[in-house]
Structure 1
Amino acid sequence: MSDEHSAHNYHPLPVVIAEAEGSWVTDVEGRRYLDMLAAYSAVNFGHRNPRLTAAARRQLDRVTLVSRAFDHDVFGPFVTELADLCGKDMVLPMNSGAEAVETALKTARKWAYEVRGVPDGQANIIAFEGNFHGRTTTIVSFSTDAGAKDSYGPYTPGFRTVPYGDVEALRAAMDDATAAVLIEPIQGEAGVNVPPSGFLTAVRELCTARGALMIADEIQSGLGRTGTTFAVEHENVVPDVYLLGKALGGGIMPVSAVVADRDVLGVFKPGQHGSTFGGNPLACAIGREVVAMLRTGEFQERSRTLGEHLHRRLGALPTDVVREVRGRGLWAGLELYGAARPVSERLMELGVLAKETHDTTLRLAPPLTISRDDLDWGLDQLEIALKG
Structure 2
Amino acid sequence: MSAVAWIALGSLTAWGWLLLGQGFFWVTDQRLPHREDLAVWPDVAVVVPARDEAGSLPASLPSLLAQDYPGRAEIVLVDDGSTDGTGEVALALAERYGGLPLRVVSPGEPEPGWTGKLWALRHGIALAREHEPEYLLLTDADIAHAPDSLRELVASARTGGLDLVSQMARLRIATGWERLVVPAFVYFFSQLYPFRWVNRPGARTAAAAGGCVLLRTEAAVRAGVPGTIRHAVIDDVSLARAVQRSGGRIWLGLAEKVDSVRPYPRLADLWRMVSRSAYAQLLHSPLLLTGTVVGLTLVYLVPPVALCAGILGHDPAAGWAGGLAWAVMAATYLPMLRYYRQTPLLAVLLPFTALLYLLMTVDSAVQHYRGRGAAWKGRTYARPSATPES
TM-score (norm 2): 0.26
Larger helix proportion of the pair: 2
Q: Tell me which structure has the larger Cα radius of gyration.
A: 2
- TM-score norm. by structure 1 comes to 0.26
